[in-house]
Structure 1
Amino acid sequence: MDAIFKALNDPTRRALLDSLRHKDGQTLQELEAQLDMTRFGVMKHLGLLEDASLIITLKKGRFKYHYLNALPLQEVIDRWIEPLLAKPAARAVLDLKNTLEGVAEMTTKPDFMMQTYIRCTQDALWHALSDADAATHYHFVANRVEENGDEITYYAPDGTVMLICNTIKTTPKTRLEVSFEPKWSGPDMPASRAVYLIEPEGPICKLTLEHYDIPAGQEGVADGWQRMLAGLKTWLETGQDAKFGRPQTAA
């Protein structure tokens, strides 16, 4: 956590994070063009942000893309700020194909990435991501999730379908690619694709989420991913249901 505060204690690094919040997946050249600084200086700041896990990078060909990773900041908020804002009773409410089979390996860069480390076994993490019953313990909205073959359907509290995910391709315990078919604003919302990557590191697992082909108007899914993955991490590490939903406003 010291690395997070050190990384944030500089206006240039905060400007880089703001830029990635506005447009994720930028190259070094794109970020350098926004600052009155040498390439080496920008690289040094990006290195400190990466060391603090506030950004994650993806190499595609000769380009390296940088993505904002908001989960460490969410953990800081949950630890110190959120208890001051929400009463315990309200905290329960605050609480997370191309859609065709046989799609070729994706060569484009993801629109959104997020990464976290979870103290759990590889088997436990795979089960949590692929089992419908497990999702009810950590999804920030859905308390009912149903599985029908390769299709998993998430239901909003009022019983309406909010999301459908179909398995596209799997490498057991390592990689899970699914369609992401949102329904919360109607049946005609375009679909996209999400990929979970699991890398075991001794007693912990590194989980990386990549979201591809996010249609215009659905950029807000980043907030949902933050809440869901925070709930997933908490549930796996504590055994307690964790649903980090949005605060309810007083009537």
Structure 2
Amino acid sequence: MTDDDRVFKALADPTRRFLLDRLFDRDGRTLTELESELEMTRFGVMKHLRVLEEANLLVVRKSGREKLHFLNAVPIRLIHDRWIDKYTERRIAALTDLKAELEEKTMPTKTENKVVYVHRVYIKATPEAIWDAITKPEWTQKYGYQCPVEYDLRPGGEYKAFASDAMKAYGDTPDVLITGEVIECDPPRRLVQTWHPQWEPVEGVTRLVHEIVPGADGVTSLTVTHELADSPNTAAMVNGEVENAGGGWPEILSDLKTLLETGKSLHS
């Protein structure tokens, strides 16, 4: 079964779509919280969550004695790029309805408590190649928002992301888009840093973690965890919820996967 097949299978069930909707409304829920909103046994809910996890639509993280469930939007973005865009002009009802269901979102207000986003993607590439694609400007200019970056890869080192030429053409864009400080650096496995967008300087400094884990058959997992406290506008931006402002982390990671596996960006 292919990755696409697993995602379509997972999304075909209304209970599993309901669980994803609940996690979109508020991420990082426990099994008990999710179970309380469904009229089925705990074991039944666990089976649905397992299908979602196998499709990589969920990332489970331990917090003390509890397991927290996080929505991973990257596979949905890959489905969108692979299938929905391809058929948009033909207006095939089944796919456009699927697009509406997957992408229909309500903009968060400043009172919403969206704190942590977790995204995971599996890439046919070495950990070293993925590390370089994250930390070297000659790579970051080729995917996502195409912003050159500068890293001083040591604890306390400085991080900067610069506006791309396309961004500068719009005007009123700061040359340095994002600033930060490296907290942990363990190449090519783990990078922890602060992340402070300069287009929203009044919002708080956020925390960003990249975790790279090699697997079988040359496939490596990349997990990006973005902790956003008291930063509702930044949270909306990085989760791809702001109209005409790109797809946030889901699109960035989808584009990174495509670039490393095919040599070309999604938008090339």
TM-score range for the pair, normalised by the shorter chain length? 0.7 to 0.9
Contact 1:57 1:67 in 2 (8 A): yes
CA pair 122-193 structure 1, distance change in 2 beyond 3 A: same
5+ residue gaps, structure 1, are 87-109, 245-251
The aligned counterpart of 1:117 is 122
CA pair 165-237 structure 1, distance change in 2 beyond 3 A: farther
Q: CA deviation at 1:189?
A: 2.5
Counterpart-to-counterpart distance in 2, 1:18 and 1:10: 13
Q: Which amino acid aligns with 1:168?
A: I
Counterpart-to-counterpart distance in 1, 2:183 and 2:267: 27
Counterpart-to-counterpart distance in 1, 2:11 and 2:188: 35
5+ residue gaps, structure 2, are 90-114, 241-247
Q: Which structure has more RCO (C-alpha within 8 Å, separation ≥ 6)?
A: 1
Counterpart-to-counterpart distance in 1, 2:67 and 2:222: 20
Q: CA deviation at 1:144?
A: 4.1
Counterpart-to-counterpart distance in 1, 2:151 and 2:57: 34
The aligned counterpart of 2:144 is 139
Alignment of 1:1-251 (within 5 A): 1-85=4-88, 111-140=116-145, 142-147=146-151, 150-156=158-164, 157-158=167-168, 159-160=173-174, 161-185=176-200, 187-202=201-216, 203-217=218-232, 218-220=234-236, 221-223=238-240, 224-242=248-266
Equivalent pairs, count = 219
Q: CA deviation at 1:145?
A: 3.7
SS in 2 for 1:209: strand
Q: CA deviation at 1:241?
A: 3.3
RMSD: 2.0
Instruction: State the TM-score, normalized to the length of structure 1.
Output: 0.80
Q: Which amino acid aligns with 2:214?
A: P
The aligned counterpart of 2:101 is none
Counterpart-to-counterpart distance in 2, 1:32 and 1:239: 43
Q: CA deviation at 1:233?
A: 0.9
SS in 2 for 1:26: coil
Counterpart-to-counterpart distance in 2, 1:209 and 1:163: 17
Identical columns (%): 39
SS in 1 for 2:259: helix
Q: Which amino acid aligns with 2:47?
A: K
Q: Which amino acid aligns with 2:163?
A: Y
Q: Which amino acid aligns with 1:139?
A: G
Counterpart-to-counterpart distance in 1, 2:88 and 2:163: 28
Contact 1:132 1:152 in 2 (8 A): no
Contact 1:137 1:243 in 2 (8 A): no
- Point out the structure with the larger helix share: 2
Contact 2:52 2:58 in 1 (8 A): yes
Contact 1:194 1:209 in 2 (8 A): yes
Instruction: State the TM-score, normalized to the length of structure 2.
Output: 0.76
